[in-house]
Amino acid sequence: MQDMPITILGIESSCDETAAAVLRRNANGDTKVLSSIIASQDEEHRPYGGVVPEIAARAHMQKVDSIIDQAMKDASIDYDALSGIAATSGPGLIGGVIAGLLSAKGLAMATGKPLIAVNHLEGHALSPRLSAPCPFPYLLLLVSGGHTQLLAVKGLGDYERLGSTVDDAAGEAFDKTARVMTLGFPGGPAVERLAANGNPHAIKLPRPFRGKDHANFSFAGLKTAVARAFEASDKSDAAKADIAASFQQAVCDVIFERTSKAMDMFTSDSSSQAPYRFVVAGGVAANKAIRETLDTLCAQKGFTLTAPPMKYCTDNAAMIALAGIEHYIKGNFAALDVKARPRWPLDDKAAAANPASGFGKKGPKS
């Protein structure tokens, strides 16, 4: 337990959300979110049906300073009260990462506060600890537009990747399905709404890696199958609803089976002991059908399901500030010449092994 409160400003800009937050950890270990501001770029990207890296970078540069100022005002503190400044330095769309990291470097130079370079994935990995105690170790499913991974989270800086996508992330598959059927952007919520009116068994779609004895994902073939199904349909509202429902059911089935494999791997590890905890984070975790699927799986496998509040599931700066606090306590500070990283796996050993993660429209999967 530290003797003095630790107050960290966090900055997040890895994709299409410009965010800043201030967190304080008191001497007794309690952590409080003093402010959390997120500026969406949905309007900028909607005409293109997906995130355009150049537009995202420009929007971050235009918004980041005002978002930081607002976070500090909402926290009712000045910069002298900060213990340090944490910023995402990867992985992500490099232009956006640079925009946020440069702002953090400028503040660190101006205030004399230490700079903490945070792995965006580590922010997600620690995010359940924002709202409730979540002791290590736990199994994490990170499922979003840019990432689909299963990680054994054993402690700060101690992560083992049990499974990852070999091509596209689940969120990309949702966005592609929405784009094919002209449902608008962001695609995930649009597909989910439409699926509620469809028959999940109407269209035969593949379940990639079904029956395989590993925990990796693949969604590229499923995206292609959805596009072909739509092309062969009569394009009616009923046909769209059936395709959306069938697609969503396929994703649920894939997540169920791949996560089940990861749970077996997790429980067989001698460092893991009951009670077993399972955490889901990332924007796709907001999907009700996926949540219900994971509820069922956890009940079958004897895991307790924990999900951060939705505001902390999607990209946010509170999770970056939280990781910053943990690294501040350890004295893990970055030099002012630290570089932005488009790819930054939490588990270098797993990242070097096959299958290697692919590239998708929203960035890295490692």
Q: What is the mean pLDDT of residues 342-365?
A: 58
Q: What is the mean pLDDT of residues 299-324?
A: 93
Torsion, Cα 119 125 127 128, to 10 degrees, reads: -170
- Per-residue pLDDT for 113 more than 60? yes
Q: Is 236 within 8 Å of 183 (Cβ atoms)?
A: no
- Per-residue pLDDT for 305 more than 60? yes
| Tokens matching residue 236 | 């009616």
- 120 lies in some domain: yes
Question: Does residue 329 share a domain with residue 266?
Answer: no
Question: Does residue 182 share a domain with residue 228?
Answer: yes
Question: Does residue 256 share a domain with residue 170?
Answer: yes
Whole-angstrom distance, CA of residue 39 vs CA of residue 329: 29
- Per-residue pLDDT for 196 more than 60? yes
C-alpha count within 13 angstroms, C-beta hemisphere, residue 60: 31
pLDDT tens digits, 249-261: 999 999 999 999 9
What contacts 231, CB < 8 A, 6 or more positions away? none
- Per-residue pLDDT for 57 more than 50? yes
What contacts 106, CB < 8 A, 6 or more positions away? none
What contacts 71, CB < 8 A, 6 or more positions away? 9, 20, 21, 22, 35, 36, 37, 317
Whole-angstrom distance, CA of residue 127 vs CA of residue 79: 24
pLDDT tens digits, 27-37: 888 999 999 99
Return the residue matching tokens 């009923």: 238
Q: What is the mean pLDDT of residues 332-350?
A: 88
Total residue length of the chain: 366
Q: Is 254 within 8 Å of 208 (Cβ atoms)?
A: yes
Question: How many folded domains does the chain comprise?
Answer: 2
Parent domain of 110: 6-131+312-364
Question: Does residue 167 share a domain with residue 249?
Answer: yes
Return the residue matching tokens 């939705």: 310
Query: What's the pLDDT score for residue 362?
Result: 41
3-state helix, strand, coil in the chain (%, to 5): 45, 20, 35
Helices (H), the chain: 42-45, 53-75, 94-111, 120-126, 170-180, 187-195, 220-232, 237-268, 288-301, 310-313, 318-330, 348-352
Task: Among 285, 307, 329, give the residue marking a domain's end.
Answer: 307
What is the domain-level CATH number for residue 173?
3.30.420.40
Please give the helix or strand (H or E) that residue 25 lies within, else none. Answer: strand 17-25
What is the share, in percent, of the chain residues with pLDDT greater than 90? 76
- Per-residue pLDDT for 360 more than 50? no
Question: Does residue 301 share a domain with residue 181?
Answer: yes
| Tokens matching residue 260 | 């089940």
Question: Does residue 343 share a domain with residue 262?
Answer: no
* Phi and psi at residue 2, to the nearest 5°: -80, 160
Task: Among 283, 307, 331, give the residue marking a domain's end.
Answer: 307
- Per-residue pLDDT for 364 more than 60? no
Task: Among 307, 323, 341, give the residue marking a domain's end.
Answer: 307
Question: Does residue 169 share a domain with residue 74?
Answer: no
Question: Does residue 170 share a domain with residue 300?
Answer: yes
Question: Does residue 179 share a domain with residue 89?
Answer: no
Identify residue 142 by its one-letter amino acid code.
L
pLDDT tens digits, 124-142: 999 989 988 899 999 999 9
**Regarding predicted confidence, which is higher, 65 or 131?**
65
Query: What's the pLDDT score for residue 366?
Result: 42
Q: Is 149 within 8 Å of 166 (Cβ atoms)?
A: no
Whole-angstrom distance, CA of residue 322 vs CA of residue 127: 8
| Tokens matching residue 116 | 């903490």
pLDDT tens digits, 86-97: 999 999 999 999
Q: What is the mean pLDDT of residues 175-182?
A: 94
CB atoms within 10 A of CB 28: 8
- 143 lies in some domain: yes
Q: Which residues pair with 304 in a beta bridge?
A: 277
- 82 lies in some domain: yes
Three-class SS of residue 5? Answer: coil
Question: Does residue 346 share a domain with residue 294?
Answer: no
Whole-angstrom distance, CA of residue 345 vs CA of residue 366: 5
Query: What's the pLDDT score for residue 359?
Result: 41
- Per-residue pLDDT for 361 more than 50? no
pTM of the full predicted structure?
0.89
Question: Does residue 121 share a domain with residue 19?
Answer: yes
Question: Does residue 119 share a domain with residue 156?
Answer: no
| Tokens matching residue 175 | 């966005």
Handedness of CA 325, 315, 163, 196 (dihedral sign): positive
C-alpha pair distances (Å), 166 with each of 89, 205, 364: 23, 19, 11
Whole-angstrom distance, CA of residue 148 vs CA of residue 360: 11
- 1 lies in some domain: no
